[in-house]
A and B are shown apart, each in its own frame.
Chain A
Amino acid sequence: MEAHAAAGHHGPPAAHQSSRVNASVLGMFLFIASEIMLFGSFFTAYFFVRVVNGTAWVNHYILANGKLFQLPIYVAFINTAILVTSSFTMHWALTSIKKGNRAGLQAGLLLTFLMGLVFLLTQVREYSRLGFKPSDGAPATVFYSLTGLHGAHVFVGLTILAFMTIRAFRGHFSPEHHHGVEIGGIYWHFVDVMWIVVYTTVYII
């Protein structure tokens, strides 16, 4: 009987990777997992401030610099509807290219980008009308931090979407090769889910 520590093989060994998830998709999920931890720390700060300063953040009002300010709950609701819809158009874009429908891909990505842009611009506009600044106390700081962190992610998502859209209009992606859309789509859905959590906890509850 012979002993063999390794098979006779020349050159570097074949890469070992999970047969269940593609490496780049797995990378995006690991990135999202780290992002969830980042958002988790901000949510911890938010809940801490609300519990400690119970009277400073009640019924959609926030105490900043000694005054009560109403949060723009209805504008934020419209913004939420826009962002949620953009997830549907994102999904439409991907299913279109899987079926070989290039026009559907282009329209889906363009609509997703435009809706994301409207969301971000509306948020910036609302910041200017809120009446309080991030430095006006802990609740104000937490409010701007949490919504601002999400806004930063929307900005990153828009950048990714812009590249995806340009590539789609330049004829990239096919029913067999659409990994760029798949990975960008996963990120966009993550941004959407985080906003639903932010909107429910910060604006509604």
Chain B
Amino acid sequence: MADTDRLSGKASYWTFNGVVIPVTKQDVAYNRDFGKTTDSNDYAVAQDMLAHTQIPIAYQVEGSIEGRFRFTSAPSDLIAGAVTSLTQIPCVFGLNGSAVQGHGLVDLFNLKISVPVEDIVTYTADVKSWGAWTPNA
């Protein structure tokens, strides 16, 4: 019986600018910025120290993509976009046919295409969210 709680990435997908682009790996990082709010109330008497506290003030989602160069997608969807002012691109990080990590607008950067003579041509690229990100949907 199939495991319904864990999963592999075999049915994952990456949608970028409305196009499902085949990839070999996606990494998604959820970064939050904090502001220190430490004041005299955070003084720990027994330790004779102030213990920092913070409040979340901002977040940004960053994704890293690894894939194989394909003429059907890499030139038009990635390379062209990497050298223009193209911004606020719709992006979805899909987990499988029914679940997604989230979606939102992103900007593409750090596109790197590796062309080894004796191996398959691959690329890596990073995206960074632009504005609000919708998690789990």
Q: Do A and B bind each other?
A: no
